[in-house]
Amino acid sequence: MIRNLLNPHHWLWLAMAICLGCREAAEVLEEDAPPPAVSTDFARLPEVLAGIPAGQIGLYEGLPSEFWEPNLRDRELRTKETIDVRGHILYDGPLDLQPGDGEKLTSLLGARESYQPYSPRKKCGGFSAEYGIEWTTGTAATYLLISLECGEAKFFRRRANCIAICRQRHWTSSSGCWSRTARTRRLKSRGDRLTGQVSRSAFSAAGTLHEQTRRSNNGLLNRPEPPNGFVRSPVCDAVPRPPKKRPGH
């Protein structure tokens, strides 16, 4: 044993084995970092809204609620193309807007009077993004996520983000009326508690955004397939990479 340790050839082979073993580093799988917290400083709202008026608008629909329709949500995740925006899942591919609807949405959602400071005291569950709106100007983008159930809005930009409450009175008066769609009918069993902070409606400003997606007989959502070659622009400049795609299986 001692003779083998003193043998110089033994040490030579050992050194070669160690060097060969270190030539290729082990692969390390890096998990995605949790999304940064959204600021509740209402003073940042004007800075965020500044990226809205001049931008080209895109309206995206969120998946069914993880709380109210978990089975349908799981089915949609397996079968539909989706994008991940700060941990919130939306269908890939914007909805088709009627002429003039984009301008009405921009006017409504870009107004300071449409929002009020966020309060953590609320009588609803977690934030569920039912719609996402993207305004792009060149390579810059402003993204807004809306939860109708709680009347909450989350904004994202490169140097500013904000969470606020949708102000019901302004939304209803500016839009005239909001048309109800099947997405909110599930709330009837809870007494339609959307009246607290946002209009009891789906996302249809002035009643002109007609129902884009409805349930089919098999319980899935009828959605047009995303256009061929569709490439998403970076929806959230605060994230250094494009949104993650979740291809359907």
CA distance 123 to 121: 7
pLDDT on residue 176: 32
The closest of 213, 242, 224, 239 to 63, measured between CA atoms, is: 213
Cα gap 145→215, rounded to integer Å: 22
What is the tens place of the pLDDT at every residue in 11-58? Answer: 454 444 444 444 444 333 333 445 556 666 777 788 778 878 777 888
pLDDT for position 248: 55
Other CB atoms within 10 Å distance of the CB of residue 91 = 21
- Going along the chain, which residue ranges are E strands? 56-61, 82-85, 88-91, 115-117, 131-137, 140-147, 152-156, 161-166, 244-246
Residue 235 has pLDDT above 70, yes or no: no
Q: Write the pLDDT tens digit of every residue in 88-136.
A: 888 988 888 888 888 888 888 888 888 888 776 766 777 888 899 988 8
The domain ranges of the chain are 42-119+126-242
- The rounded Cα 145 to chain-centroid distance in angstroms is 6
Terminal Cα distance for the chain, rounded: 59
How far is Cα 52 from Cα 70, in angstroms, rounded to an integer?
33
| Selected residue with higher pLDDT from 139 and 17 | 139
